Structure 1
């Protein structure tokens, strides 16, 4: 990818992160923010929106750092294991380990009196399902060998990028960071071949 296409990908992903965070932020706190809309308090609404977009830009940059780090890791993995099946197997093991961590270790660290493990399982399932859907589209868009790497990226790398919110373990922050990062990661994963195609054309 040449520098022009990289800048296009960077800026478009930045906008995706900002817009997504703005939408998710208002959706999560709609019970509080709807009064501002009813009162037609434009200044307050815009200030909150600009803040959310700024936070979204940060999430987008984290996502892009993770994406380009994974492209490097993927090449190293292929070189170390010297075959796609072995590297895919290693990625599957890491996927299972990360999903287990999202349930068991988070439950051990943050469980409250009377709380069950069910919400922790549901959150890990959500990450798995979204990752599976994006990996399926990536497979359909390129080839069947792309499924496992895409699933690995959407689960393992997303979880690593999501770690600051996981440490806080505050429900709104968990979703406010997770969803934009997932959207940015999916966007980069699916759009990168198109930007490379622009270069070839």
Structure 2
């Protein structure tokens, strides 16, 4: 929850100073605003945890139903489809009019996914490459569909920054949480 809260405060303050969308009426408003962002970030982190546990369940079932290689190919295809949906299909098929924003958002999520995947593979092994990329791309994009329907770029930034931070933290610490303790 702390990761989401800090991510929301950073995103909220940067957006406020960059765009000035909120007009404060006094010093009390300026002091309360970061507290509201902390609470909002905590809520986003709970949403992120929901997506993470859904991913763990889906991955467990996918490994149980399909051969490992087949499940990896399915994850690659779903990741590419999710990224294409975010970057292109919303504009050309769905009638959305903001291609530049969708491309920027998709490239930002892709770069974050590549960095997190690189770190995860470095911390663990090469077998973490496809599941990590799938989680950071497909699951994150699935989690932001609700805010994308709003169509307000600031709202998207408010949710995507803490969500990416929480998702990255969860996937990067998974191997630490699940490793067996060494017996002395």
TM-score by length of 1: 0.82
- Contact 2:83 2:141 (8 Å CA) reproduced: no
Counterparts in 2 of 1:38-187, with a 5 A limit?
41=27, 43-82=28-67, 84-108=68-92, 109=94, 111-112=96-97, 117-187=99-169
Deviation of residue 193 (structure 1)? 2.1
Deviation for aligned residue 1:196: 3.5
What is the CA distance between 1:101 and its match in structure 2? Answer: 0.6
Selected match of 1:189 from 171, 174, 178: 171
Q: Which has the higher helix share?
A: 1
Whole-angstrom distance in 1 between the partners of 2:89 and 2:36: 32
Q: Superposition RMSD on alpha carbons, in Å?
A: 2.2
User: Corresponding residue for 1:6?
Assistant: none
Unpaired stretches in structure 2, ≥5 consecutive residues? none
Query: 1:119, CA displacement in angstroms?
Result: 3.1
1:178 and 1:110 mapped to 2: Cα distance? 22
Closer, same or farther: CA 137–27 of 1 in aligned 2, 3 Å:
same
Cα distance per residue 1:92-144 (max 9 Å; x no partner): 000111111102232144534xx6x3332222111111111101111111110
TM-score, with normalisation over the residues of structure 2?
Answer: 0.89
Preserved CA contact (<8 Å) 1:17 1:56: yes
